[in-house]
Structure 1
Amino acid sequence: MDYQINRFVIEIPDSDEKTSTDQLDMDFFLQKDYRKVILGTVRFPDGEPAPCSVVKIFKLKHPHCDAEITSELEPIGHAITDDNGQFLLGPLYPGDKIVLKILYLNGLVYEPSSKSVKSTCEPMDTEYEEEE
C-alpha cells in the first residue's frame, strides 16, 4: 500500500520589525490521491441519530473470505459519532474489502446537561463543607 503524505517545509522570515504583513499567504497543491473516506450517519431504528456510538473499521485479512462470518479481520481504526450520529473514517484504498462494527448504547437518550459535575472523592482538607 502506498500511503501518500504531502510534506511542506516552510521557512519563516526572521524579522525584528513589526510590519503590516505579519501574515504569510501561501497556496498548497496536493498530489492526486485515490484513497477514499466514509462519511456516514448511525441512526436508531426510529430514525433518530445515535450519538456517542463507536464505529470500528476492519480490513479482511483474506479478501476471498466471506465477510459475514470470518473472524480474520485486521483493525484499521475507529471513530465516535457526534451529536448528529455522523462519523468519518479513512483513508481506504480502492479494492479494499472492509467490515464496519458499530457499538452503541441501546435506548440511549442524549440530553446535554448544564449541571456541574460533582466529584465522588472526599476532599483532603476537612475544613470544607459539602455542598448540597
Structure 2
Amino acid sequence: MDYQINRFVIDVPNGDEKSSVDQLDMDFFLQCDYRKVILGTVRFPDGKPAPCSVVKLFKLKRATADPETTPDLEPIGHAIADENGQFLLGPVYPGDKLVLKVLYLDCFIKKSSTETVKTTREPEDYNFQE
C-alpha cells in the first residue's frame, strides 16, 4: 500500500513570546494514497543510458482520444534524466491515460579542446521501456 504525507499547518510562536520549550514535538500520520510515480531509464538502442534526456509527461484531455495522433494533451510535468539516464515523474492517478515524450540532448559534445557545442535531436521510434 502506498502512502503520502498530508499537508499540515504549524503555527510557530513568535520569537518575542514567552515559551517553556524551545522545540515543537509533533507526530505526523501518513494517509493512504493510490497515486503512483513513474521511475524510468532512458536508453539508446544499444542499451547504454541516455543522460540529459528531457522526459515530458502528458495526460490525454479526452480518455477516448488516440494517444498516437491527438494534439489534445495536457502537460503534467517534465524531468531531465541524470547521468545514468534515470528520471522520476508523477504523481499520476489510477485510470489516467498518459503520453510520455523523450527528447535527447547531447549535453556537451566537444568539437575541439576549446569549443563546446550543445545540440538537440529527437529520437525516431526508439523504445525506451526496460
State the TM bucket, normalised to the shorter chain: 0.5 to 0.7
Q: Which residue of 1 aligns with 2:104?
A: 104
Confirm or deny: 8 A CA contact 2:52 2:107 kept in the other structure.
no
2-structure distance, mates of 1:70, 1:12: 49
SS in 2 for 1:65: coil
Identify unmatched segments of 5+ residues in structure 2: 16-20, 110-130
Gaps of 5+ in 1: 15-20, 112-132
Taking structure 2 as the reference length, what is the TM-score of the superposition? 0.65
Spell out, residue by residue over 1:75-130, the C-alpha distance to the aligned partner (whole angstroms, 9 max, x if none).
1110110111110100101100000000003xx4769xxxxxxxxxxxxxxxxxxx
User: Is the 1:6–1:31 contact (alpha carbons within 8 Å) kept by the matching residues of 2?
Assistant: yes
Q: Say yes or no: does 1:79 pair with 2:79.
A: yes
SS of residue matched to 1:38:
strand
* Residue 37 (structure 2) aligns with: 37
| Contact 2:36–2:93, Cα closer than 8 Å, also in 1 | yes
Looking at structure 2, the residues matched to 27 and 45 of structure 1 have their Cα atoms a distance apart, in angstroms, of: 48
The CA distance in 2 between the partners of 1:10 and 1:28, in whole Å, is 11
Cα-to-partner distance string for 1:30-72 (whole Å, 9 max, x where unaligned): 1111111100000111111111110000001111111111111
Counting strand residues as a fraction of each chain, which structure ranks higher?
2
Please report the RMSD computed on the Cα atoms of aligned residues, expressed in angstroms: 2.9
Instruction: Give the percent of matched residue pairs that are identical in Structure 1 and Structure 2.
Output: 76
Partners of 2:107 and 2:7 in 1: how far apart? 43
Aligned to 1:48: 48
